[in-house]
């Protein structure tokens, strides 16, 4: 990071005029903030994503996590190692297939996730400082509805590879 420190974000007019660049930039800025914002909950952006998946989508295998995060299995192993050491998740071998390990969220993990949700929501709203509360709701709705079709395949019980 080029020695900025503060959150004095700035954006080019070129990016402002191009939706694709805008979206990429917004994601970048949000992740930058996440390091600061989520620090209060002891999580980084990846741990936040993992906890959210386990809580909402149900206990999954580590390979399922790797697929949803679009990261190599080795990355997930390290992340789960850390979360488990802190008592936020637990690994339990699947009796039906003892190669698999189901990852479940603990009570402490649920609490930390709730706090992280609060911080992340606030960071999202703060990023789009130019919008009213009503426009922020509309933005959230459009993002969710637009990407919803991608959740159809892949998350449920037995979707194909």
Partner DNA sequence: TATTGTTATACTCTATAACTATA
Partner DNA sequence: TATAGTTATAGAGTATAACAATA
DSSP single-letter state for residue 130: T
String of DSSP letters for 56-68: HH-SB-HHHHHHH
Question: Closer to its own copies at the Cβ: 97 or 148?
Answer: 148
Binding partner of residue 99 among DNA, its own copies, none, CB under 5 to 8 Å per kind?
A: DNA
Shortest reach from residue 96's CB to its own copies, in Å: 23
Question: Closer to its own copies at the Cβ: 108 or 143?
Answer: 143
Give which of 62, 7, 8 is closest to 39, Cα–Cα: 7
Task: Spell out the alpha helix ranges (H) of the chain.
Answer: 13-16, 19-37, 45-57, 62-69, 73-85, 107-127, 133-155
Give which of 42, 52, 158, 61 is closest to 105, Cα–Cα: 52
> Is 143 a residue that touches its own copies (CB under 8 A)?
yes
Near its own copies in 12-51, by CB under 8 A = 12-28, 30-32, 34, 45, 48-49
Binding partner of residue 126 among its own copies, DNA, none, CB under 5 to 8 Å per kind?
A: none
> Is 149 a residue that touches its own copies (CB under 8 A)?
yes
Binding partner of residue 157 among its own copies, DNA, none, CB under 5 to 8 Å per kind?
A: none
Tokens coding 72 = 């190599």
Which letter, b or e, does each residue of 88-106 get, where b requires 16 or more Cβ atoms within 10 Å of its Cβ? bbbeeeeeeeeeebbbebb
Task: Among 43, 47, 53, 83, indicate the residue that binds its own copies (CB under 8 A).
Answer: 53
Binding partner of residue 80 among its own copies, DNA, none, CB under 5 to 8 Å per kind?
A: DNA
> Is 86 a residue that touches its own copies (CB under 8 A)?
no
Residues in the chain: 161
Binding partner of residue 74 among its own copies, DNA, none, CB under 5 to 8 Å per kind?
A: DNA
């Amino acid at each position: 990071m080029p020695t900025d420190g503060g959150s004095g974000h700035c954006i080019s007019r070129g990016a402002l005029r191009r939706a694709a660049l805008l979206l990429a930039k917004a994601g970048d800025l949000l992740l930058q903030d996440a390091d600061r914002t989520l620090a209060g909950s002891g999580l980084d952006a990846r741990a936040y994503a993992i906890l959210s998946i386990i809580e909402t989508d149900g206990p999954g295998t580590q390979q399922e996590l790797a697929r949803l995060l679009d990261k190599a299995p080795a990355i997930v192993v390290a992340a789960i190692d850390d979360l488990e050491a802190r008592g936020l998740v637990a690994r339990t071998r699947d009796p039906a297939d003892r190669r698999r390990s189901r990852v479940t969220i603990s009570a402490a993990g649920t609490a930390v996730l709730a706090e992280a949700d609060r911080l992340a929501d606030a960071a999202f709203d703060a990023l789009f400082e130019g919008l009213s509360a009503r426009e922020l709701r509309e933005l959230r709705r459009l993002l969710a509805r637009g990407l919803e079709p991608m959740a159809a395949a892949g998350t449920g019980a037995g979707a194909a590879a």
